[in-house]
Amino acid sequence: MTKSFLLLFFALNTTIIFGQNLTDTQLLNKAIAYHDPEGNWEDFRGQLFITMKTPNSSDRLSEITIDLPRQYFKLVTKKDDTTTEQILSKQDCKLLLNGSDTISEDETKKHRLTCERTQSMRNYYTYLYGLPMKLKDPGTILDPKVYQKTFKGKIYDVLKVTYKEPVGKDTWYFYFDPATSALEVYQFYQNEEDNDGEYIILTGQEKVNGIKMPKIRAWYYNNNDTYLGTDTLTKTAVLIE
């Protein structure tokens, strides 16, 4: 009986020890299973309503429509008395300022209303709200080592990610809760030796199309912890056929 108990105890503890030594792919798959258990991101169709607060500035309200199957993206932004609309429908691009498509050169520069900028905003929002699923995209390079890092007093499982050109040049770190594999922090550097770039703390969750997305994202500089701003997901909606 004693010998059998010892063998069982050793087997269980061996499983626990080796279970903690996840590979990069295993950790990413666990995180995706937590955030998108039904695999809905690939066919995501929904709306996100975001309020952005930054120091010494008025709030910016954004209404984002993402329809991945139809290759459709729309961003409506309201700040003070100005409303901009940026729309991409496959290869077609449409820009509006306060409801008008007649936009002067000065207004174009002031509000950064270009089709190239619209493409960048589409990539930005689909990337950040599509995490961690977007880490499966072509051009993403996962460091095979899973790091254990302490951030703000909590130990995380961490993935280091770089990108092939022209996908990206920054180095990213993604911090996952060791118990649930929920994504709670991400951090990027243009030059890690200079400790530049930013980190983003995620709190709360909103479920959209079965996907757990961060409700609040707070941004800070890496080098001095200066607070930059907060995005709050105030409302979501599912697109109906």
Residue-by-residue DSSP string for 173-210: EEEE-TTT--EEEEEEESSGGGT-SEEEEEEEEEEETT
User: Which of 21, 12, 231, 8 lies closest to 128 in space, CA to CA?
Assistant: 231
Q: Does some domain include residue 8?
A: no
Shared-domain flag, residues 33 and 59: no
> Which one, of 240, 239, 238, 183, lies nearest residue 208 by Cα?
238
pLDDT at 120: 94
210 has pLDDT over 60: yes
Mean pLDDT of 7-24: 51
- Residues 48-77 have a mean pLDDT of 97
Name the DSSP letter for residue 21.
S
* Residue 20, pLDDT score: 59
How far, in Å, CA of 154 to CA of 166, rounded? Answer: 34
Residue 183 domain-assigned? yes
Q: Which of 111, 129, 147 is the last residue in one of the domains?
A: 129
Residues 171 and 52 in one domain: no
> Mapping DSSP to helix (H, G, I), strand (E, B) and coil, where does residue 6 land?
helix
The pLDDT assigned to 211 comes to: 97
Whether 231 has a pLDDT exceeding 70, the answer reads: yes
Residue 121 near residue 114, CB atoms below 8 Å = no
**Averaged pLDDT for residues 161-181:** 94
Provide the residue type at 140 as one letter. T
How high is the pLDDT of residue 241? 62
Confidence at residue 21, expressed as pLDDT on a 0 to 100 scale: 80
Asked, for residue 120, whether it belongs to a domain, the answer is: yes
Query: In the prediction, which pLDDT does 135 show?
Result: 97
Q: Can you give the pLDDT at residue 239?
A: 82
Instruction: Give the model's confidence band at 165: pLDDT under 50 very low, under 70 low, under 90 confident, else very high.
Output: confident
Statement to judge: residues 29 and 55 lie in one domain: no
* Number of compact structural domains in the chain: 2
> Could you tell me if residue 167 is inside a domain?
yes
* Same domain, yes or no: 36 and 63: no
Average pLDDT, the chain: 91
Are 58 and 102 part of one and the same domain? yes
Quick check: 201 pLDDT over 80?
yes
Same domain (yes/no): 37, 56: no
Residue 142 shares a structural domain with residue 224: yes
27 belongs to a structural domain: yes
Task: Let me know whether 153 and 210 are in one domain.
Answer: yes
Do 161 and 53 lie in one domain? The reply is no
- Per the domain annotation, does 144 fall within a domain? yes
Alpha-carbon distance values, 71 to 65, 130, 238 (Å): 11, 15, 16
Indicate whether 106 belongs to any domain: yes
End-of-domain residue from the set 104, 129, 154 = 129
The domain boundary residue, chosen from 103, 129, 155: 129
Both 173 and 125 in one domain: the answer is no
Domain encompassing residue 218:
23-41+137-229
Q: For residue range 86-96, what is the model confidence (pLDDT) as tens digits?
A: 999 998 999 99
Nearest to 129 by CA among 53, 191, 205, 241: 205
Q: Note whether residue 59 is domain-resident.
A: yes
User: Does residue 110 share a domain with residue 155?
Assistant: no
Asked whether residue 8 carries a pLDDT value surpassing 60, the answer given is: no
Q: What is the pLDDT of residues 97-146, one digit of tens each?
A: 999 999 999 999 999 999 999 999 999 999 999 999 999 999 999 999 99
